[in-house]
Chains A and B, each alone.
Chain A
Amino acid sequence: QVQLVESGGGLVKPGGSLRLSCAASGFTFSDYYMSWIRQAPGKGLEWVSYISSSGSTIYYADSVKGRFTISRDNAKNSLYLQMNSLRAEDTAVYYCARWDYDILGNSAFDPWGQGTLVTVSS
């Protein structure tokens, strides 16, 4: 079945770095745009970044631009998020999600991984 599994979360000091990974299975990974979305504790959802199927097109939310880098390895069916210069406000559960679409062009995030918690604290 279609599955996304994140890893790499943990506790990091302000100013530190962390790299998240998302392993995809059950579908042709190289056919799909992918995205990272985060959720601070007790808060709503915030889109972080997305990357096109080939990796040639990338966009970031203003809140992470210049600090985070999204990438993918289609040979390994994996999505990554390199997070540098981390701040307390980056503390959140980070989800990877597939940007799915149908033949009419309707699109949405489906499925989502289970998430990985990143805590930025001294």
Chain B
Amino acid sequence: EIVLTQSPGTLSLSPGERATLSCRASQSVSSSYLAWYQQKPGQAPRLLIYGASSRATGIPDRFSGSGSGTDFTLTISRLEPEDFAVYYCQQYGSSPPRLTFGGGTKVEIK
């Protein structure tokens, strides 16, 4: 089973700063099946990035995804107050069919 490790666990930044979140897989992951989600307290997760680098509908262009193989990155170019939340990466593997999530990165206000 593929394990996704997100780092750092917590990122303390100020509005306007750049956030770089890492997601590392224990073995190679298909980019088609690598996604990022944002979750705010008391809310369901929301899709941000799919296919490793494609923004979901309505997602601002300050969010970008990159990477391939075992290393993926979510970048928020300039943090807005509403971006402080927890972010999860997720992958689907077909052998055997399993979906896994990373442990999450909390982006908090410094």
Residues of chain A having any CB pair with chain B under 8 Å: 35, 44-47, 50, 59, 61, 95, 100, 102, 104-115
Residues of chain B having any CB pair with chain A under 8 Å: 32-33, 35, 37, 39, 43-47, 50-51, 54, 56, 88, 90, 92, 96-104
7 sample A-B contacts, Cβ–Cβ < 8 Å, listed by A number: A95-B44, A102-B50, A105-B32, A106-B33, A106-B51, A108-B51, A109-B37
Contact of B98 among A59, A100, A113 (CB under 8 A): A59
CB distance A59 to B97 under 8 Å?
yes
CB distance A112 to B50 under 8 Å?
no
CB distance B97 to A44 under 8 Å?
no
CB distance B47 to A111 under 8 Å?
yes
Residues of A within 8 A of B47 (CB): 100, 108-111
A111: shortest Cβ distance to chain B, in Å? 7
Q: How far does the alpha carbon of A50 sit from the alpha carbon of B100 in the complex, in Å? A: 12
CB distance B99 to A50 under 8 Å?
yes
B51: shortest Cβ distance to chain A, in Å? 3
CB distance B101 to A102 under 8 Å?
no
Besides A50-B99, A107-B92, 13 other A-B contacts (C-beta < 8 A)? A45-B45, A45-B88, A45-B104, A47-B100, A47-B101, A50-B97, A59-B96, A102-B54, A104-B51, A106-B54, A108-B47, A108-B50, A108-B56
CB distance A104 to B32 under 8 Å?
yes
Q: How far does the alpha carbon of A46 sit from the alpha carbon of B35 in the complex, in Å? A: 14
A66: shortest Cβ distance to chain B, in Å? 16
**CB contact under 8 A between A109 and B51, given known A59-B97, A59-B98:** no
